[in-house]
Amino acid sequence: MLSIRRNGKIVKRLKKIPVYDRPREKLIQRGASCLSDQELISVLLGNGIKGKDVCAVAEEIALKMRNDFDTINRMDELQTIQGVGPVKAAQLTAVFELARRYLVKDKHAISSPHDLMPFVAELCSKKQEHFLTVTIDGGSRLIKKRVVFIGTLNQSLIHPREVFVDAITDRAKGVFLVHNHPSGNCKPSVEDVCVTRRLVEAGEIIGIEVMDHIILGKTEYFSFMENAII
């Protein structure tokens, strides 16, 4: 029997495919662009499990990828597929993350206050203090910018819970803190320093790094990182 029917689709058994037409050999001879999604995944997996051929495992992964890529690139979701254990799930997750970092063109790398300025410059003209968070992934690419609080910065109001809840949801590697001083003087107050240190400590516990806290004036900024305060 050359093939099996799974989820309404015909999936070839690897052992029944001619050697020259198997995914790995096909990739070597003709290049990766000649392989289907399922064949590319088969190359990554290497083998299936007893009772479930690698082609069947790969087809199930490919189907889930087409339906919801943002979900399937998580290890816990991959391991719900029979034939994908922790090692294979880790390998696939690593490949998906590399693709996300280097092939998604609409994300912007942020590693310094200068990189961040285009995304927060509107705060310079605000007449009230705005406190923002900017989350980044493991490749230092922007995930999302959010307004957390509007008003005078205060330890009792800026709670770590409010700052990190979205960063956790984003599975962020780090977070930039940004707020403005409507007065135009971007020198940090005692309260600014206390809030920042509290959030840095909370981030260390949670495992999400506070990359910097940037205070914006009207024409200049103050960076806690550049001034070695954090």
State whether 68 and 20 are in the same domain. Answer: yes
Q: Highest mean pLDDT range out of 18-27, 58-67, 71-80, 191-200? A: 191-200
State whether 66 and 138 are in the same domain. Answer: no
Compare 228 and 12 and report the one with higher pLDDT.
228
Show the tokens assigned to 76: 């816990």
The predicted structure's pLDDT at residue 15: 58
Q: Would the pLDDT of 139 be above 50?
A: yes
Q: Would the pLDDT of 67 be above 80?
A: no
Q: Highest mean pLDDT range out of 11-25, 128-142, 153-167? A: 128-142
List the domain range (segments joined by +) for residue 46.
Answer: 3-103
State whether 130 and 219 are in the same domain. Answer: yes
- Provide the pLDDT confidence category of residue 20 given band limits of 50, 70 and 90: low
State whether 198 and 216 are in the same domain. Answer: yes
CA distance 208 to 149: 20
Q: Would the pLDDT of 80 be above 80?
A: yes
Q: Is position 229 within any domain? A: no
State whether 173 and 81 are in the same domain. Answer: no
Mean pLDDT for 34-41 is 84
Q: Is position 214 within any domain? A: yes
Final residue in a domain of this structure, among 42, 71, 103: 103
Final residue in a domain of this structure, among 103, 132, 152: 103
State whether 135 and 77 are in the same domain. Answer: no
**Structural Rg of the chain based on CA atoms:** 24
Using one digit for the tens of pLDDT, what is the confidence trace for 183-208? 989 999 998 999 999 999 999 999 99
State whether 149 and 193 are in the same domain. Answer: yes
State whether 118 and 172 are in the same domain. Answer: yes
Q: Would the pLDDT of 9 be above 50?
A: no
Q: Note the pTM of the prediction, 2 decimals.
A: 0.58
Compare 111 and 195 and report the one with higher pLDDT.
195
- State how many domains the chain has: 2
Treating both helix axes as pointing N-terminal to C-terminal, what angle do 190-206 and 160-169 enclose, rounded to 10 degrees?
40
Q: Is position 230 within any domain? A: no
Percent above pLDDT 70 for the chain: 83
The predicted structure's pLDDT at residue 7: 46
State whether 73 and 117 are in the same domain. Answer: no
The predicted structure's pLDDT at residue 99: 74
